[in-house]
Amino acid sequence: MSRNTRIVLIFGGFLAAVGAVFYPIFFHPMMHIEDYKNEQKKNRAGIKQEDVQPPGLTVWTNPFAKK
């Protein structure tokens, strides 16, 4: 195997490993937004946000939501 081929395989393997690590962390949630929204609705069903908010702070709102 030539030196260039070996370097390309090592570099390509590194990129494939980085891609395999980033897929479940970044890409999967971005492609399945509705699944994660539904899961959060189930997890937060019985929680009233005003009761768990520290005193003196306003209740969090999404700054990117359409007004």
Mean pLDDT value of segment 45-49 = 85
Q: What is the mean pLDDT of the chain?
A: 88
Q: Is the pTM of this model over 0.75?
A: no
User: What Å distances lie between residue 63 and 32, 34, 54, 60, CA to CA?
Assistant: 21, 19, 19, 9
Residue 23 lies in a domain: yes
Query: Is residue 31 in a domain?
Result: yes
Per-residue pLDDT band at 49 (split at 50, 70, 90): confident
Residue 30 in any domain: the answer is yes
Answer whether residue 67 is part of any domain. no
Tokens at residue 17, please?
A: 């490993």
Q: For residue 6, what is the enclosing H or E element?
A: helix 3-22
Residue 25 lies in a domain: yes
Q: What local confidence, expressed as pLDDT, does residue 39 receive?
A: 92
How many domains does the chain divide into? 1
Q: Which domain holds residue 38?
A: 3-43
Is residue 18 domain-resident?
yes
When computed from its CA atoms, the radius of gyration of the chain, rounded to whole angstroms, is: 22
Q: Give me the pLDDT at residue 8, please.
A: 95
Encoded amino acid at 8, one letter = V
